[in-house]
Amino acid sequence: MSPTNDGGPAFPCSDLVTANGDVQPGCNGMTLRDWFAGQALAGLVTMPIPTPSAVDLAFYAADCMIVAREKGTK
Residue 10 lies in a domain: no
SS3 13: strand
Indicate whether 51 pLDDT > 70: no
Task: Report the amino acid identity of residue 68.
Answer: A
Whole domain around residue 41: which residue ranges? 16-72
pLDDT in tens, 28-43: 889 999 999 999 999 8
Largest CA distance in the chain: 56
**Do the domain assignments include residue 65?**
yes
- Give mean pLDDT, residues 9-30: 87
Q: How confident is the model at residue 14 (pLDDT cuts 50, 70, 90)?
A: confident
> Does 5 map to a domain?
no
Give the 3-state secondary structure of residue 38: helix
Phi, psi (degrees; rounded to nearest 5) at 13: -130, 145
Residue 4 domain flag? no
Helix (H) or strand (E) holding 66: helix 54-72
What pTM was estimated for this model as a whole? 0.67
Q: Say how many domains are in the chain.
A: 1
Q: Lowest mean pLDDT: which of 45-49, 56-60, 64-68? A: 45-49
